Amino acid sequence: MRLSHSLAPVILAAALTLLLPRDASALTGDGGSSVADAPGDLFGASCRTAVDGSHVVAYCHNPYVDTDRLRLHIECAQWWDIDTDTAPVDDGAAMTVRLTGRCWNEVASAWVSHQRAG
């Protein structure tokens, strides 16, 4: 059976639509550094995290109107080293905040969580 030339593009478009991710943030390659409740909902600070030895620093800038409540989470590499979470910090409109933390020895991973304040 041979598909007509006018039907093939329709089938291809339908197949691609089913395969594409439904979450718009998956297309940005952002790595979860900002948050949005729905596509088109502008919310969430953009964060840069740097690890230097046992110290972690994150700079987060919020370009949006709604306040983003941020926390820095640090997972330490050694089993005996205590993982830490910073106290929540509010990042208001057009503000940049600095979050810091550390492990005693070596950092395994660090990330920033976002929550709507209010």
Q: What three-state secondary structure class fits 19? A: helix
pLDDT at 103: 97
Confidence (pTM): 0.66
Q: What pLDDT, on a 0 to 100 scale, did the predictor assign at position 59? A: 98
Residue in this structure with the two tokens 């509010």, named with its chain if needed:
90
**Hey, where are the domains in the chain?**
8-116
Residue 12: φ, ψ to 5°: -65, -45
Mean pLDDT by 10 residues, the chain (118 residues): 54 48 36 52 93 97 96 97 96 96 96 92
Pairwise CA distance, residues 74 & 103, whole Å: 8
Distance in angstroms (rounded) separating the CA atoms of residues 96 and 104: 27
How much is the pLDDT for 58?
Answer: 98
CATH number of 8-116: 2.60.40
Q: Please give the pLDDT value at position 117.
A: 87
Token pair 């990330």 is at which residue? 111
